[in-house]
Amino acid sequence: MNLLSKVGSYDFLVEPFHCDFSNRIFIGHLGNHLLNAADFHSNERGYGMDYLNTVHKTWVLSRFVMEMKEMPKAYDRIIVDTWVENVMKFFTSRNFAIRDKEGKVYGYGRSIWAMIDTDSRQPVDILQERDGLITKYIETDKECPIEPFKRVKVAKTTESRQSIETHYSDVDVNGHINSVKYIEHILDMWPLDWYKQYRLQRIDIAYVAESYFGDKLHFAVEQRSDEEYDIMVLKSNDNGTDMKEVCRCKLNFVKI
């Protein structure tokens, strides 16, 4: 069997309507580029969703980190490198580097994924799929020089700062609320004037449970410093009595 390279590199154009008022790409759109690169890389190597969907399985994102030195600007052409760093029975870790063709690095990403059965929504053994094909693509020599996921602690008693309804455009191909949509909703809690003074340097997000169309999301925020915030997202049912944690997120801003 002829194996492809362990590291995949994918070109993206920073489109102007994917940029904010500062002419730099929205973090959500950049996050989608990273997730698309992961999809392209895994599909090309035979363990992606193109194959998994035929056997009623899929990848779901468990943890995601992005740390940016600088945000790409409109019309920049960026390259997302991605590679699998490690594989365990129920989880695999995948890294990212965001750069231009000259080698200037904008930032890095880390992610942890689980494979689930789409009928039962339960985890399945990654190493059993296609005789462990993914293990042939583990790359340990390429550096990802950012810290792994940082733990986020938010007290259960923290009051919700904001609540929103979920809608059609929040739902992705897996039938649940899209991973990046949580990030966008979280960042929307800060006003425009805040982003004129600060930029997001790093985001850590851990996905605890799935939420679906029609769920109401509640955002509890604890401020650690002027530039660091921990957020817990919960979902409620129609009558608002049953609250369940969906994800936790840490934001680190820097002054512009």
**160-255 CATH choice from 3.10.129.10, 3.30.2320.50, 3.30.300.30, 2.60.40.790:** 3.10.129.10
99 pairs with which residues across the strands? 79, 105
Looking at residue 80, its pLDDT comes to 98
Give start-end residues of each CATH 3.10.129.10 domain in the chain: 8-137, 160-255
Decide if 83 contacts 139 (C-beta within 8 A). yes
Residue 156 pLDDT: 83
Q: What is the pLDDT of residue 239?
A: 63
Residue 256 is encoded by which pair of tokens?
Answer: 């512009």
Neighbours of 1 (CB within 10 A): 5
Q: Structure tokens of 101? A: 């063709």
The candidate with the shortest Cα–Cα distance to 71, out of 224, 187, 185, 160, is 187
Average pLDDT per 10 consecutive residues for the chain, totaling 256 residues: 93 98 97 97 96 94 97 98 98 98 96 95 95 97 96 89 94 90 97 97 96 94 96 84 90 97
Dig out the tokens for 167 from the structure: 């809608």
Beta bridge partners of 117: 57
pLDDT value of residue 241: 65
The pTM is what? 0.94
Instruction: List 233's β-bridge partners, or say none.
Output: 219, 247
In the chain, the N- to C-terminal Cα span, in Å, equals 50
Q: What is the 3-state secondary structure (H, E, C) of 130-144?
A: HHHHHHHHECCCCCC
The tens digit of pLDDT for each residue in 114-165 reads: 999 999 989 999 999 999 999 999 999 999 999 999 999 998 888 899 999 9
Give the right CATH number for 8-137 from 3.40.50.2300, 1.10.10.60, 3.40.50.1010, 3.10.129.10. 3.10.129.10
